[in-house]
Structure 1
């Protein structure tokens, strides 16, 4: 090989190496990265009846012509069509995803909230007290399950506070989830015995139906447990780890739910980064109830259905729960 030929090949190699990152971060490269990673790891294609190859055929040519804004809109369209609240795209323009909470009515924005005899902040995420209209009934609002686990350990203190109550209302409305470690910690304080409460399996192969064997998850009592009647207040905004909490609590005979069907999010998402720096997440496992039912995209129906009313300021769900406990 001549010196001149060697230099030409060296320059071509360097040029190709410099070009590769630009190709990967191009609209085509970003789209292909997103499609390939989802193809390999997303858990609900077959369950949802999604033809992922057809998605590629339809959108790849559009991605090749898209600028940054159009590419973001294109990926958002694909994500929303999956109808999975655990699939999101995070870009400088904002966060996009499927608005699962819009499938049912939400609480009126001017809803008259709960009146307590003495409001207590047990932690930054647990708030409650005894009801003014029914002083023998306790009320706890769980804001989320996404804070540090120590915030949820305060449930022990809360249940000591309500030890003299005749029953307890736990308000989960608007709780979009967080960590199942936190939801399990709270639920264990209501357990009467160790029991199965959910099953899950991970996507683990190139085919859309490649999964690990089902893994069974139990819930067991912890510390001081509350075994008097409990009602959980639910709506469409209850999602993800909040639904894990409901699954666990519904395994106990003294717990029932009232309100609306939950959001239907069971995917336990993982996060990935695209070549242009955008972040996205998607479901990488499937979950079932203890009796082997899927609820992804469906939600968990309440024992007592009670829609919210936008006609007045009355909290119909809370009122119904008080009636049920009387």
Structure 2
């Protein structure tokens, strides 16, 4: 479950989306508890963080600067923001204090309007609509620009995500620009996601994943899923096995926040006819964890294209980078998030959890994905004009690669 908590943070991009506000129903902690929590967090990073040099930061000096400020804070919300500032000096992903109110959100029933949004040309644009979703039934189209939600202007993609979030079976008013840049309005319902698309993690936590598998024209297999979760293993396996006669396979990892490395590796196994090293994770103690593809009896030997974007993170970055470096797949799209560290959680005196990074993955050639991202072999932008035409330039580039003569 600890690994999934790390994924939850990536999926909701909490370090970006949340400035901690006072929780109305949670009792405030005492100054003594806050001080103990501060020391626990600092000591954990000092002893277990993957980089003994702390990226050049004087971690002891950071302690001495922030420790006196703990006594000055007047609420848990102020304390959390103080911790956020200290951890932010390390400038890496997977360092986060998970407060009780955040964890409660992770226990809520997830909902969807059917919209996938991206920032394109400085606007929040619809790039995908789920079939039979509320958004699809409202006749929204790719390329439409989201301007307001419930009458409030949408500032950016993160702001749109915040405003779309809400309780199951509630509605929202969506203002948008159509293909003629005329402002229109639609009412969308926040529909609960199916239990069949949910993995229960224990303790009331759960994760959802969208999964899609189909044949494209020219006998090309297409696979798209939003997280690497254990319950998807049989679906991924069945899909790739059904594509054995395909001219190529496109694995769409755009927006995939990551998940279980073992699920990604199991998928990779089906693409190799020999053992192949994909990633190596180094820890503070110098222990190395090797992620190696182990071939099946009848692997798929055809062309593979992987689609990524700036929202592909963690395990999706590892598998894309590993297959790319091994020469087994061509990566197409936009540079990925660059949020790829192995992390776990510990409990805190303040009754929150602390997520910290203990390992740094890298490719066999030594490329570190954290802070860099996976750089595609073919960089392709999405444009609003093409989306309005019903086109997906990144998918088209992958199809073009599959159809091109082998070299």
Normalised TM-score (structure 2): 0.62
- Aligned partner (choices 29, 32, 50) of residue 39 of structure 2: 32
Q: What do the CA deviations read for 1:249-298 (whole angstroms, capped 9, x no partner)?
A: 22543411001112223321010111111111111012221112222211
Map 1:82-97; keep pairs closer than 5 Å: 82-94=90-102
1:176 is aligned to 257
Deviation at residue 225 of structure 1 after TM alignment = 1.5
Local SS of the residue matching 1:295: coil
Matched, 1:234 2:317: no
Task: Select the structure that is richer in strand.
Answer: 2
Unpaired runs of 5+ residues, structure 1, are 1-20, 96-104, 116-122, 204-210
Matched, 1:111 2:107: no
- Aligned partner (choices 218, 225, 228) of residue 299 of structure 2: 225
Map 1:298-309; keep pairs closer than 5 Å: 298-309=372-383
Do the aligned partners of residues 254 and 273 (structure 1) sit closer, same or farther apart at CA in structure 2, a change above 3 Å counting? closer
Moved >4 Å (runs of 4+): 21-24, 105-108, 112-115
- C-alpha contact (below 8 Å) 1:190/1:249 kept by paired residues: no
Matched, 1:157 2:231: no
Rounded Cα–Cα distance in structure 2 between residues aligned with 1:184 and 1:267: 16
Matched, 1:143 2:226: yes
Local SS of the residue matching 1:156: helix
Rounded Cα–Cα distance in structure 1 between residues aligned with 2:342 and 2:318: 11
- C-alpha contact (below 8 Å) 2:317/2:369 kept by paired residues: no
Rounded Cα–Cα distance in structure 1 between residues aligned with 2:347 and 2:45: 12
1:202 is aligned to 283
Do the aligned partners of residues 226 and 109 (structure 1) sit closer, same or farther apart at CA in structure 2, a change above 3 Å counting? farther
- Aligned partner (choices 261, 266, 271) of residue 335 of structure 2: 261
Deviation at residue 310 of structure 1 after TM alignment = 4.0
Rounded Cα–Cα distance in structure 2 between residues aligned with 1:36 and 1:185: 36
Deviation at residue 73 of structure 1 after TM alignment = 1.1
- Aligned partner (choices 69, 88, 99) of residue 62 of structure 1: 69
2:59 is aligned to 52
2:397 is aligned to 320
1:79 is aligned to 87
Normalised TM-score (structure 1): 0.77
Matched, 1:282 2:356: yes
RMSD: 2.6
Q: Once structures 1 and 2 are overlaid, which stretch shifts more, 279-288 or 54-63?
A: 54-63
Map 1:243-254; keep pairs closer than 5 Å: 243-254=317-328
Q: What do the CA deviations read for 1:159-196 (whole angstroms, capped 9, x no partner)?
A: 23223321111100111111111111111111121011
Q: What do the CA deviations read for 1:70-115 (whole angstroms, capped 9, x no partner)?
A: 10111122233433221121113437xxxxxxxxx75764114699
Rounded Cα–Cα distance in structure 2 between residues aligned with 1:322 and 1:114: 21
Q: Once structures 1 and 2 are overlaid, which stretch shifts more, 66-75 or 249-258?
A: 249-258
Local SS of the residue matching 1:261: coil
How many residue pairs align between the two structures? Answer: 278
| Structure ID, larger Rg | 1
